[in-house]
Amino acid sequence: MGAKENKLGIRGSDTHSILFTDVKVPKENRIGADGFGFTFAMKTLAGGRIGIAAQALGIASGAYELALAYSKQRKAFGTEIMNHQIIQFKLADMATRIEAARLLCLKAAWEKDQHIDYTLSSSMAKVFASETAMWTTTEAVQVHGGYGFVKEYHVERLMRDAKITQIYEGTSEVQRIVISRSILK
């Protein structure tokens, strides 16, 4: 096992490289026929994308809830910041994007449960939910102002955690390739 990685986010989960040197696997221990590995990996990734989309949705929802609660407590210019239209619009946009991400996640999960090809829906859910998480956490930091940059308020951690959802199980760019290939068939 390689050294523990010092990551930007998701720091509660250790990440290590696994190293194989001079490993030989007997042919009788192989899983599947020749060429099976790629197909199996792609199907596994499609299912994993639903999980990453759900993770991103949870991160976005948590950041929204923190921003909403903070906006009801923090005062500026003689009133709670929730009374300022710019904060109201930020919260409205957060809630709208989160709900759209939730529906995409539910659709992809439903298609998987129904044994319908969910490649397209899982890619759409993953790209939208992960980008919603990154956008929402950035906005939550803004709502918190200077406190958003302070670890005590947790939105900075959510922002760091959101970034990886745009990367693993296929980057947002890869999801757009999957989506475009599917709709251009």
Q: Give the residue numbers annotated as catalytic, written as ranges.
A: 169
Question: CA-to-CA distance for 141 and 150, rounded, in angstroms?
Answer: 9
User: Contact, 178 vs 120, CB < 8 A?
Assistant: yes
Question: CA-to-CA distance for 138 and 108, rounded, in angstroms?
Answer: 26
**Which sign, positive or negative, has the C-alpha torsion 72, 76, 78, 81?**
negative
79-111 burial: b if 16+ Cβ within 10 Å, else e: eebbeeeebeebbeebeebbeebbebbbbbbeb
**Which sign, positive or negative, has the C-alpha torsion 132, 135, 51, 171?**
positive
Query: Three-state DSSP class for 76?
Result: strand
